[in-house]
Structure 1
Amino acid sequence: MELERYIKDILGNHFTLADVPKEALALLPLYIKEEYHISQGEFWGYPVILMALKQDLDFHTQRTEKHLQTIADIFQRKVVLVMEEMQSYTRRRLIEKKINFIVPGKQLFLPELLIDLRERFSRNYGNKTDTLIPSAQQLFLYYMLHRHSKIQLTDLTLKEIAKKFNYTPTAISMAAENLKKFDLCDIKGSKEKNIVFKEDRPALWHMAQKHLVTPVLKEVFIDKIPDKRVLASNVSALPEYSDMNPGAQQYYAIEKKHYYHLRAAGALVNENPDEGQICLEVWKYDPYVLTYGITEDSNVDPLSLFLSLKDNEDERIEMALDQIIEKFIW
């Protein structure tokens, strides 16, 4: 597809494109579906809706601006207008109004998105050069947790790891290079490459501490568990790994892509940023991958749990986290 190829030529593999689920498209007014092709994408993991004007229709800035807002309100995402051709005066109007647009092969203008990305990276990653990217952290934690597995992560090629973790081979290569950058592993082999961790697990954990970050991207509140693809997290998960009792607030973790899919489909009951029966943690990586053979109670893994709570100053939680490290690291 020309649009995807054009964006990837500029941004590399930091962009993905996918169809919008049918149940989500059903939420749109008929006139929107008649005038635009709607798809969804991610820039650096940040979800957007792409609204492509059908070629045989006239363009009117004011009307299109209202349509953009309608779609943004329904999906609760930034929207990017896509046009095959654009007159110079139309381009000027869109730039003046700071409306996101792409003309494949010619121009990419994303003022809203770039501002949000800057704020998001600043908030979640601090100095990005000092922290592991999410995929690299996920690989590292898997290695730390699954010390007793018959097949170790180091026994697998990068291609096999990509399949196991549901990443592209390119993404896993980037993750491996990120681990190597911080001297946590070496990459061996020529045609088929493997990750080789340099130290024993306690030493690795100590070395990695300044590079590990919380897996939680954000928190929202809802009143009903959306489906089975969530795991108990935060203080709701601590009882399995420590002596701490669960708190009154229920916490669950969900992978970010699945969260945005459910959100677009309207499957999150009474979602809001302040209160609800359930606090839903949106994670940067899939929490399920790390839990096989680790949890017996559908909880997130203990090391990601540790990272999500390590800055909490509650003494009970600090004691619980000490128990996790004693059990799973030393």
Structure 2
Amino acid sequence: MALEEISILHRKIRISICDKERLKGISIGEKLSYTFYEGVYQDIAMIFLEPRKGNPTPKECEITSGRIMALLGVPVVFILKPGPTYERQRLTDKGVYFVMSDKYAHLPMLIALEKTSDRKTASVLTPVAQYILLYHLQERSLEGLSAKEIAKLVPYSYESTTLGITCMEDLGLCEKELVGQRTKHIHFAKKGLELWKKAETFFISPLEQLIYCDALHSEKVFPICGINALAHYTWLNPDPEKMFMLTNKEYRTLKESGVLENPNTYDGSIIIEVWKYPAIGLAGENIQWVDRLSLAITLAKDNDPRIEKEVERMINNIEWKD
């Protein structure tokens, strides 16, 4: 059934089906794929495309809107079914105009990718968001980069990276600034130690579980963590036990392959910290030690004055990268 009106950010506007003369030059495939409407929003005439099936991909939308805008000379807006946050972000990054239910719109005269009441605003950093923030502080500044550019630097997909950035924005740790009509870049108002201190109340411990074993029969080298990593960065003496950091995936793989000798949760000559996110470092880098800031977070609840002093020393000696 043809639409007679649509709601854009809770404001209803009238639309009507385009006549055949208006669609001269439009391909048969496009006519079969979409219903074409005309309408006016905030005094701007637009062509609205309603997919006859499911939502096309953001790339397909980008190609189709570019062709039709060039042909008809007016903005092209897609009327889409509700979709996930990352889909809306990808559409926005590609400069595609769209209306998605009455809660989201990305139009020529406004950027209105608003938060919905059913999306909980973050109260703490997610593992992905924390990784991105600590990477920015220690490894390489992410200032002025897009989500797509950041995803190439971190071990996460574009979709996960986008959600991580949104989490940081929810907590007031960064902002997404529109550059032109197509791309949003990340901006950090605070820098270095000041940003670290602002984020402190939102950090989660990377440590998910602690495993002991008597031997680790693997040729792979894992990053050193815990007190022994702190000893590497400061004047502290290392403990006699070996201490390694593994991701959940790495731990499951080792456990299933049987290379862990007598794994348990009580005692052993090797201590394995299973973390919520990978060791932070530059792509392709051989990471021998967990990063300083993640290490500081794992040791935050240690009441030993000696450790507290060395953690403070370690943070004060950091060369901030932002």
User: TM-score normalised by the shorter chain: which range applies?
Assistant: 0.5 to 0.7
How do 1:309-324 and structure 2 match up within 5 A? 309-324=299-314
**Structure 1 match to 2:242:** 250
Find the residue that maps to 1:280 and give its secondary structure: strand
- Read off the aligned partner of 1:140 and give its amino acid letter: L
TM normalised by structure 2 equals 0.57
1:241 aligned onto 2:233: yes
Aligned to 1:247, what secondary structure does the other structure show? coil
Alpha carbons 2:212, 2:263 under 8 Å: kept: yes
* Aligned counterpart for 2:269 among listed residues 277, 282, 299: 277
Provide the identity percentage: 29
Alignment partners' CA distance in 2, 1:206 and 1:160: 26
Which of 155, 165, 170 pairs up with 1:181? 170
Instruction: Report the Cα offset of residue 163 of structure 1.
Output: 2.6
Name the aligned partner's letter for residue 158 of structure 2.
P
Superposed CA offset, 1:143-185 (max 9, x none): 1113xx5xx3224321122232121111001000000001000
Whether the aligned pair in 2 keeps the contact of 1:217 and 1:281 (CA below 8 Å) is yes
Tell me whether 1:162 sits opposite 2:151 in the alignment.
yes
2:234–2:310 contact (8 Å) kept in structure 1: yes
Say if 1:255 and 1:282, in contact at 8 Å, map to a contact too: yes
Larger deviation, residues 154-163 vs 279-288: 154-163
- The one-letter code matched in structure 2 to 1:174 is L
Which runs of structure 2 are paired with 1:290-309 in the superposition (5 Å)?
A: 298-309=288-299
Report which of the two has the higher share of helix: 1
1:141 aligns to 2:126 (yes or no): no
Structure 1 or 2: larger strand share?
2
Equivalent position amino acid for 1:224 in 2: A
**Counterpart of 2:243 in structure 1: which amino acid?**
Y
What is the CA–CA distance in structure 2 between the aligned matches of 1:293 and 1:179, rounded to whole Å?
A: 26
Q: Which has the larger radius of gyration?
A: 2
Which SS does the other structure have where 2:143 is aligned? helix
Which among 307, 319, 328 is matched to residue 318 of structure 2? 328
- Paired residue secondary structure (1:287): coil
The Cα shift of 1:193 comes to 2.9
SS of residue in 1 equivalent to 2:243: strand
- Within a 5 Å distance, the mapping from 1:60-99 to structure 2 comes to none
Amino acid corresponding to residue 282 of structure 1 in structure 2? V
Distance across 2 between alignment mates of 1:196 and 1:294: 29
Helix, strand or coil for the counterpart of 2:186?
strand
Is 1:212 aligned with 2:203?
A: yes
TM-score for the superposition, normalised by structure 1: 0.55
Give the residue type in structure 1 aligned to 2:292: P
Question: Offset at 1:135?
Answer: 0.5
Question: How many residue pairs get matched?
Answer: 200
Query: Could you tell me whether the CA contact under 8 Å between 2:243 and 2:271 is conserved in 1?
Result: yes
